[in-house]
């Protein structure tokens, strides 16, 4: 393929991308009133369920792109981020007006913190090994 042809192809692709972008913008503008209307009408639960299902799809696609060699670090990272449950634990500790709820919250914060630091740091150690070349 010579340079001229390459440039021509690139231009063609750029034009197509532009057209797609314009279409996407138009679609988004149309979608706004629908979403606003829907959000007002639908229960918050349905909204959360929608987010949940979309996140499942995102997770599905992202995880299939993970190289099998890094499946152990993947477990380390997912382990660490699942400790985001610390958010619920912190709210219980900071806002709770029963000492028992606060105590449960405190225990949960502590357990989740072990996991956050442990998970990210052990993953960092694993990944550092994959950087060195023999």
**Does 18 sit near another protein (CB under 8 A)?**
no
Asked if 46 is part of the footprint of another protein (rule: CB under 8 A), the reply reads no
Q: Does residue number 4 form part of the binding site for another protein (CB under 8 A)? A: no
- Kindly write out the interface string for residues 91-120 of this chain, putting x where it contacts another protein by CB under 8 A and - elsewhere: xxxxxxxx-xxx-xxxxxxxxxxxxxxxxx
Window 57 to 96, contacts with another protein (CB under 8 A): 58-60, 62-96
Q: Specify the residue, 23 or 36, whose C-beta has the smaller distance to another protein.
A: 36
Q: For the chain, give the secondary structure using H, E and C.
A: CCHHHHHHHHHHHHHHHHHHHHHHHHHHHHHHHHHHHHHHHCCHHHHHHHHHHHHHHHHHHHHHCCCHHHHHHHHHHHHHHHHHHHHHHHHHHHHCCCHHHHHHHHHHHHHHHHHHHHHHHHHHHHHHHHHCCC
Does the protein bind another protein through residue 35 (CB under 8 A)? no
């Amino acid at each position: 393929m010579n340079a001229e042809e390459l440039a021509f192809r690139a231009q063609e692709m750029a034009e197509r991308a532009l057209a797609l972008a314009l279409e996407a913008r138009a679609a988004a503008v149309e979608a706004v009133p629908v979403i606003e209307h829907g959000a007002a009408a639908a229960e918050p639960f349905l909204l959360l369920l929608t987010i949940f299902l979309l996140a499942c799809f995102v997770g599905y696609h992202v995880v299939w792109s993970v190289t099998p060699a890094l499946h152990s670090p993947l477990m380390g990272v997912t382990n660490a981020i699942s400790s985001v449950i610390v958010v619920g634990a912190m709210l219980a500790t900071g806002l709770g007006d029963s000492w028992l709820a606060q105590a449960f919250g405190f225990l949960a914060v502590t357990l989740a913190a072990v996991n956050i630091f442990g998970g990210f740091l052990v993953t960092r150690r694993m990944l550092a090994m994959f950087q060195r070349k023999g």
